[in-house]
Structure 1
Amino acid sequence: MSKIKTLVVEDEYLAQQLLVRWLSEIQEIELLGCESDVTGAVTAIEKIQPDLIFLDINLSGDNAFQIIHQTPKHLRPDIVFVTAYTEYAVKAFRVNAVDYLKKPFDRSHLLEAVERVIERRSRKQPDSKQEVHEHITIKDGTNMTFVGMDEILWVESAGDYLVIHTAEQHYVHRSSMKKFLQSLSQSFARIHRSTIVNLERIKHIQPRGHGDADVVMCNNTELRLSRRYREAIKAFKVS
């Protein structure tokens, strides 16, 4: 894998220099430069087309999500948010952020974020055998129903079958959890040995204590988040 072309977007000088120093020590990273405001960041992304940006959310009073909205989709890099704020975590995940580092963080947290970027990029390689579909075909006798992947809220296992839940209804589909997850985009993640969720349809995470939590979906359905799978939605910072 080639080096990851990286841009730092941070308006606090000390935080910016710390990121630069730590990222410069990582062999897989090719640091292309730094920006400190929305306009400069959008211009730099269009010019140098980085693979990855480390992005502060509050940029001199401007919201960094403007950068994402102003960048053409085909040029949008992977994003690791770096911020002192926790309230943007769900929104960050909805724009498919790789990680959400809350200040202050240490070098080990940064390395973990880079490792997740490398893992994500490896799954995007052209020689990957994983086939991602835009819809799933549900067979019922001689009838077939096409369900768009973006319609799916969550999926639960039921023996040799899966129950696929949308906002309107549910469908029974014969497949294993592992095989089905391989056909899904990165907008889906396993939160329990018997549950897959659409990350873009999560409303919020409700801590239950002792490391347990519930994932609350957009229709207010509560699903148990197993501690074993907390890493899959780490950007929500469930403690």
Structure 2
Amino acid sequence: MPAASDGAAHPGATRLRALIVDDEPLARRGLEIRLRDHPDVEIVGQYGDGAAAITGLRKHHPDLMFLDVQMPGIDGFETLRSIPAAELPLVVFVTAYDHYAIRAFEASATDYLLKPVDESRLSQALDRVRRSHVQREASGHCAHLLGLLGELSGRPPLDLDAALRPDAIEQLRREDKLAVRDGGHTVRVDLAAIRWIDAAGDYMCIHTDGDTPQGKTLILRATMGELEKQLDPQRFPRIHRSTIVNARRVVELRPHSNGESFLRLDCGQELKLSRSHRDKLALLL
């Protein structure tokens, strides 16, 4: 497939991978020639009907599609209806009849071009495409991050205002549940039920209340650092290289002659407070 560029793109420009879909070979060729003046546009496929275009779209995952409205078999609008929204690129309709413009915009086209394609009008359409592409990338990235923040906090996806609040992280720490990624899913644990957390190789053991005096232990693939970021350090201090404790569950502290101390929890478990973490004593007394 011929490339759309005779030269390098402008520094910092985002390349646009494009499909041309038109049942007229001369129309495809004419648009290809005009796009050579826009080195940031790379033609990755050309197709003569809607069915082939759908196959090509799944193969190339383009950013942009120039789509003829009137084609035999599956026309431009039917082609769009056959593409899942998540896979839909930016679309510029190409038509010989301007009354299709209204339907084009109703179908969420970025712009439309009348045949024969005018060079200045093509430039205007590409300017609109570039702006839309930047906005789409930014909003998609933002939506992904907000969804991830919401998932990690165990709450519905956050909106932008909530995520940008200066106290957003502190607010997540004050939630009554700990959300921990475990493979492809998220486990939520009541903070009040946590007794202590310790590391076991690449895994974290979260010891919680259960139906028996021994409680129950959740074993998750995570790191101490990941859990510390979500927990309030005043409420869940780190007392050892591999141990975090729920300070509210400590009922007794017993100093040792070597500078270490032993903590007894309300469940009877004893934990060591190492010398390097003696600054946490004030939180535990």
Q: What TM-score comes out, normalization by structure 2 length?
A: 0.43
The residue aligned with 1:205 is none
Q: Which amino acid aligns with 2:135?
A: R
Q: Which amino acid aligns with 1:126?
A: A
Whether 1:89 aligns to 2:96 is no
8 A Cα contact 1:5 1:29, kept in partner: yes
Whether 1:64 aligns to 2:76 is yes
8 A Cα contact 2:95 2:113, kept in partner: yes
Deviation (angstroms), 1:130: 9.3
8 A Cα contact 2:50 2:73, kept in partner: no
The residue aligned with 1:165 is none
The residue aligned with 2:24 is 12
Query: Larger C-alpha radius of gyration, 1 or 2?
Result: 2
Q: In the alignment, which of 55, 60, 69 is matched to residue 43 of structure 1? A: 55
The residue aligned with 1:104 is 116
Structure showing greater relative contact order (alpha-carbon pairs closer than 8 Å, 6 or more residues apart): 1
Distance 1:92 1:29 in 2: 22
Determine helix, strand or coil for the equivalent of 1:59: coil
Deviation (angstroms), 1:126: 2.7
Distance 1:14 1:6 in 2: 18
Distance 1:71 1:32 in 2: 18
8 A Cα contact 2:49 2:73, kept in partner: no
Q: Which amino acid aligns with 1:55?
A: L
> Could you list the runs of 5+ residues in structure 1 that have no partner in the other structure?
132-239
Distance 2:59 2:117 in 1: 30
Deviation (angstroms), 1:62: 3.8
Alignment of 1:67-146 (within 5 A): 67-126=79-138
Which structure has the highest strand share of the two? 1
1:146-202 CA-partner distances (Å, limit 9, x unpaired): xxxxxxxxxxxxxxxxxxxxxxxxxxxxxxxxxxxxxxxxxxxxxxxxxxxxxxxxx
> Could you list the runs of 5+ residues in structure 2 that have no partner in the other structure?
1-12, 144-285
Alignment of 1:188-227 (within 5 A): none
8 A Cα contact 1:3 1:28, kept in partner: yes
Deviation (angstroms), 1:14: 1.2
Distance 2:132 2:123 in 1: 14
Determine helix, strand or coil for the equivalent of 2:66: strand
Q: Considering only aligned residues, what root-mean-square deviation do their CA atoms show, in Å?
A: 2.2
Q: Which amino acid aligns with 1:97?
A: A
**Percent of aligned pairs with the same amino acid:** 35
Distance 1:66 1:84 in 2: 18
Deviation (angstroms), 1:61: 5.4
Q: Which amino acid aligns with 2:47?
A: E
Determine helix, strand or coil for the equivalent of 1:124: helix
Determine helix, strand or coil for the equivalent of 2:27: helix
